[in-house]
Amino acid sequence: MTWEIAKQAIDYVLNNEQEFREESVTWDFIGGEPFLEIDLIDKICDYIKTEMYRRNHHWFNSYRFSFSTNGINYHTEKVQNFIKKNQEHLSIGITIDGTKKKHDLNRIYKGKDGKGSYDDVVKNIPLYLKQFKNAGTKVTISSPDIPYIIESVLHLYKLGIKDIHINCVFEDVWKDGDDILFEEQLLSLADVIICKGYYKNHNCSFFLETIGKPLNPKTQNTTWCGAGQMLAIDATGNFYPCMRFAGYSLRSKKPIIIGNIYDGIDKNKLRPFLTLDRITQSPKECIDCEVASGCAWCQGENYDAAETNTIYQRATAICKMHKARVRANNYYWNKLYRKLELEGEREEFEKNKCEVKPEIC
């Protein structure tokens, strides 16, 4: 993205304050790798702050800059200066997938003979945790990753990361038997978390009390995904309901462009996103599902996998993985609560337990 495009995008958003009435804003920088462009990002953030102040915009002092980074450049002087300058308004997530083996399965340098990035990321974790004490990480599980789930989660705990947001990919990548392997991994992970007491001050989003229940078709009819409630802008200035609808994110469908920095948002193209509900896009098996709660979807993947050019056909590739997760999750809570009851600690646990929000995207 050029500075000119970035500036025009910011001007569009700030010029149209009446269209963006939310109390606060997150300016989210995702890549590629955002810290490769730290000079540009620094300039962008300075401009945003200056303009919000100059315009007396209602977001002034109610904003965050958010980054999803691979962490490789985290220690560099420029990135560190940026962090110091914006610390109070920063959210940074370093993506580290677990053990070296697991991480280097997917995160490989271009043109370095398949060298993984684990070593370069992990050295920055202590600094990261020093600067962001409650920092978490996001882990994504695909079929080849399943055997490494336990060791990866425990490895991240060992590195000092206490909050792990972990989810299966929504794409149809699952092989026969993956759900069984997945369930076995989660059951063993449940045993370790409970036996070693990690449940007291660590989180792993696989285990949530709220998942695995039926959903009322009338009162629990909201859609899962936030596509359309955010504005995503690509390097050329096109607008999308989420970056998953950009051409480079899609396998077979045309991008869904909802406007651009020159002409603004085509609100008609946003209407389907803002009126989506769970029932209208779900097949009967999902509507009737006894363990529906917590079963997530990605609107972009729904669109990409749909038989027609629609966002109204829910992809169900994740179904068997969700059901496996629910079985392991039930096991986890039954085991944990029995232990706490036997030890007379349940009341104390209930009082202190922190809320873990389900992973959305």
Partner 1 sequence: MLQYLIILLDKESVSFCSTPPKGERGGGLMPLETLRQGIRFGMMENLMIQYVYPDKELSKEYAEVIESIDHSKIKSLPQSLLKEGRMDADVWVTESIKDIKAEVPVVWRTDKQNLFNSEADIVCALENVPRLNVVLTDVETFTDEDFEKYKQLLSALAKHIEKLYVEGKAPQLNLLTDRMMLQKMNNCGAGDTTITLAPNGKFYVCPAFFYEDESDSIGDLENGLDIKNKQLYKLEYAPICRHCDAYQCKRCIWLNRKTTLEVNTPSHEQCVLAHLERNASRELLNNIRKHGTFLPEQEDIKEIDYLDPFDKRDTWQ
What residues line the site for partner 1 (CB under 8 A)? Answer: 221-222, 256, 267-269, 271-272, 274-277, 280, 306-313
Q: Closest distance between partner 1 and the C-beta of residue 358, in Å?
A: 20
Quick one: 2 or 309, whose CB is closer to partner 1? 309
Q: Which helix (H) or strand (E) holds 138?
A: strand 136-141
Residue 166, CA distances (Å) to 35, 79, 211, 247, 328 in order: 23, 26, 14, 26, 15
DSSP string, 50-101: HHHHHTT-TTTTSEEEEEEE-STTTTSHHHHHHHHHHGGGEEEEE---SSHH
d(CA 44, CA 64): 13
Partners of 68 in the beta sheet? 93
Peptide linkage before 98 cis (omega within 30 of 0):
no
Quick one: 147 or 272, whose CB is closer to partner 1? 272
Quick one: 21 or 110, whose CB is closer to partner 1? 21
Q: Closest distance between partner 1 and the C-beta of residue 275, in Å?
A: 4
Q: Closest distance between partner 1 and the C-beta of residue 307, in Å?
A: 4
To 5 degrees, how large is the angle CA 19–CA 25–CA 31? 110
Give SS3 for 168. Answer: strand
Q: Closest distance between partner 1 and the C-beta of residue 312, in Å?
A: 6
Q: Which amino acid is at 28?
A: D
Quick one: 189 or 270, whose CB is closer to partner 1? 270
Q: Closest distance between partner 1 and the C-beta of residue 222, in Å?
A: 7
DSSP string, 279-313: HHHS-HHHHT-TT-TT----HHHHHHH-SSS-S-S
Q: Closest distance between partner 1 and the C-beta of residue 100, in Å?
A: 44
Q: Which amino acid is at 64?
A: R
Quick one: 2 or 280, whose CB is closer to partner 1? 280
Whether 80 and 121 have beta carbons less than 8 Å apart is answered as no
Q: Closest distance between partner 1 and the C-beta of residue 269, in Å?
A: 6
d(CA 26, CA 65): 6
Whether 193 and 343 have beta carbons less than 8 Å apart is answered as no
Q: Closest distance between partner 1 and the C-beta of residue 277, in Å?
A: 6
Quick one: 39 or 263, whose CB is closer to partner 1? 263
Quick one: 72 or 256, whose CB is closer to partner 1? 256
Q: Closest distance between partner 1 and the C-beta of residue 264, in Å?
A: 14
Whether 261 and 8 have beta carbons less than 8 Å apart is answered as yes
Quick one: 29 or 245, whose CB is closer to partner 1? 245
Quick one: 20 or 63, whose CB is closer to partner 1? 20
DSSP string, 143-167: GGGGGGHHHHHHHHHHHT--EEEEE
